[in-house]
Amino acid sequence: MDRAQESTESLRHKCAACFRQFNKVEHLVEHMKISYHSPHEPICAICKKHCRFYDSLREHLIGPLPKAKCAKQFSERGCRLCLKVFPTTEQLIYHRAACQFSSVNKRIPAEKEQISAIALDCEMVGGGQDGSLDLCARVCLVNEEEKVLFHYYVKPPIPITNYRYDITGIKPEHLMEAMPLKQVQETIQQILYNGEAIWRIRLKGGKAKVLVGHGLDHDLQCLAMEYPTHLIRDTAKYIPLLKTSKASNSLKYLTQSFLGYKIQNGTRDPYEDCVASMRIYKKMRNQDHYQSACLSATKFVSENAVYSRMKQKDLEKMSPEALLHISQSDFYCWCIDSRSQPT
């Protein structure tokens, strides 16, 4: 086999998404079964390589050891926030003034079919003998226009042993006329469920709000509340926002990286955190992906259903591009929210 044939053979077993190469076609097929490459992954605008996380894409373009060809073009015509590349520097300059990842562009026009969202954040004080038990003492909810829907101090059900003033800014006098936890729960449910009874939502499919936040599992636990998993958008768990190690980034880091400004410089303000998580959600929701892929991926899959239905020999006959075309993401991409109600 001559060198040209070897090159052709190698390219035939090259993943069309991440560019990994395999000696045998069956190895490529197995890779595609478990990699879940899809248009919902962050993609380099220059070489079209798929990356699992936005941090990975940043390292590919502007990291310590970037891809040389991509880094050169990106340095001339690329936006360091949204990582898009433009044909000319003039277009890049125009884009920077209204980049969807910039804090300057705070609001994104709502589409007709777009479902509405509410951001929630809680501040915790300490309970128990050593003050390590988290108790919700302040809660805030804001809508997509960043208007406050609910912002109150909460009276914990058990005594407070550590107010954590340096972090929360909460003093005993703030909680003297605080709202009881049960009343807080009822008010939040009324907001999230549009004033409808919860049983009606669950049985008859009413329209509840999407709940946005950072570390929502912990917030809901401290509020002693539950919420449908398919309506939760947690910036601490969204795969494209995670580090390559799949470790959750802090909200402070995400706001600096994706919105271009700093938060939590002193005592924490739940309104500020609500606004930051809402802006990150809206920016990610507004990502440009192939519409056909978005409309077909109405929910994430635990295993690649298309691959499981096909025979191995039929898969091995397909080109890398065809294998990529039938691949599905293993996470629910937030861009789908801007097109249809999740189910």
What ranges make up the beta strands (E) of 156-195? 160-162, 179-180
Residue 195 CB partners (closer than 8 Å, separation 6+): none
Amino acid at the residue 133: L
Give me the phi and psi of 336, to 5 degrees please: -65, -30
DSSP 238-291: -GGGS-TT-PPPPHHHHIIIIISS---SSS--HHHHHHHHHHHHHHHHT----H
Q: Which two tokens stand for residue 136?
A: 């919700």
User: 3-state DSSP call for residue 63?
Assistant: coil
CA distance 90 to 92: 5
**In the chain, domain spans:** 117-285
Element (H, E) at 306: helix 305-309
Amino acid at the residue 143: N
CA distance 176 to 161: 15
Pairing mode of beta strands 179-180, 133-142: unpaired
Query: Alpha helix (H) ranges present in the chain?
Result: 3-12, 25-35, 54-62, 68-77, 89-96, 165-168, 181-192, 198-204, 216-222, 251-254, 270-285, 291-296, 305-309, 312-316, 320-325
Please tell me the CATH code under which domain 117-285 is placed: 3.30.420.10
Pairing mode of beta strands 133-142, 117-127: antiparallel
Mean pLDDT per block of 10 residues along the chain (343 residues) reads 48 87 93 90 94 92 92 94 92 88 57 71 92 93 95 93 91 92 94 67 63 96 93 94 82 91 89 96 85 52 72 91 88 81 43
Give me the phi and psi of 222, to 5 degrees please: -70, -25
